[in-house]
Amino acid sequence: MKIKKLSVAIILFIIILFTYYYIHIQYLKVDVVFYSAILDGILAVITTTIVLTISSYFKIFNAFEKLLITIIFLLGSYIYAISVPTVLDRSLSFYILEKIQERGGGIRKTGFKEVFTQEYVKEHRLVDVRLTEQEQSGTIIIDEGCVKLTEKGYRLATFSRYFRKHFLPKNRLLMGEYTDDLTDPFGHGAIDSNKTFDYLCK
């Protein structure tokens, strides 16, 4: 009996979650997809928890069991926010599949440089999306056309570089070759280290 009612609670939660999500993306303003999906998940958890608490149908569960169910719903909503809308919104892997499909099912390997530099950046407004996300996250500020790191941004960048260098695979398969290139992508000579850049600001 508990399993049946737990299944009902899960289905109810999923319906409520997708209802909030659909209303949010269709009728409300969204600053960052991930944050809006997290908010929808929290609202769905609160709503479902209220139903679990006041409905006699779920009185078979004691307070501790309802707490555990609520925690499961929280974890589920977080997993959903990351794994579905955020991944589909950001994923280069899905873009590659969609682009190959759009181009009739096949693209020459040598053409992908053009696809990424000329099409992907423009079609997905990549710069605008990423700068908006970082600004909303508090890691950058944009002041008179200059994008600057905040203290939070510095900390995250330092952590990211350290983790990349020490805790990413040293033998990663890239196009048939195992390499450590991505543990220090700035250090492999893609751009001349003596080159001066005209896009810097202070």
Task: Say if 20 falls within a structural domain.
Answer: yes
Q: What is the pLDDT of residue 189?
A: 58
Dig out the tokens for 140 from the structure.
């950058």
**Is there a single domain that holds both residue 145 and residue 65?**
no
For residue 16, give its domain range: 2-90
Which SS3 state, helix, strand or coil, does residue 149 take?
strand
- Please identify, among 32, 64, 90, the residue that sits at the C-terminal boundary of a domain: 90
Task: Say if 26 falls within a structural domain.
Answer: yes
How many angstroms separate the Cα of 149 from the Cα of each of 125, 126, 158, 182? 21, 19, 11, 23
Chain CA centroid to CA 7, Å: 28
Question: Dihedrals φ, ψ of 149, to 5°?
Answer: -75, 140
**Is there a single domain that holds both residue 86 and residue 13?**
yes
**Is there a single domain that holds both residue 20 and residue 76?**
yes
Which SS3 state, helix, strand or coil, does residue 191 take?
coil
Which helix H or strand E contains 99, and what residues bound it? helix 92-102
- How many domains are there within the chain? 2
Task: Say if 27 falls within a structural domain.
Answer: yes
Task: Say if 115 falls within a structural domain.
Answer: no
- Please identify, among 57, 90, 123, the residue that sits at the C-terminal boundary of a domain: 90
Residue 195 has pLDDT above 80, yes or no: no
Residue 185 has pLDDT above 90, yes or no: no
Predicted TM-score of the model (pTM): 0.79
Task: Say if 128 falls within a structural domain.
Answer: no
Dig out the tokens for 198 from the structure.
């005209």
Q: Which residue has the higher pLDDT, 66 or 194?
A: 66
Task: Say if 118 falls within a structural domain.
Answer: no
Task: Say if 106 falls within a structural domain.
Answer: no
Q: For the segment 12-45, what is each residue's pLDDT rounded down to a tens digit?
A: 999 999 999 999 999 999 999 999 999 999 999 9
**Is there a single domain that holds both residue 82 and residue 143?**
no
Task: Say if 112 falls within a structural domain.
Answer: no
Dig out the tokens for 66 from the structure.
């309802």
- Please identify, among 90, 119, 146, the residue that sits at the C-terminal boundary of a domain: 90
The pLDDT confidence band at residue 2, using thresholds 50, 70 and 90, is confident
Residue 199 has pLDDT above 90, yes or no: no
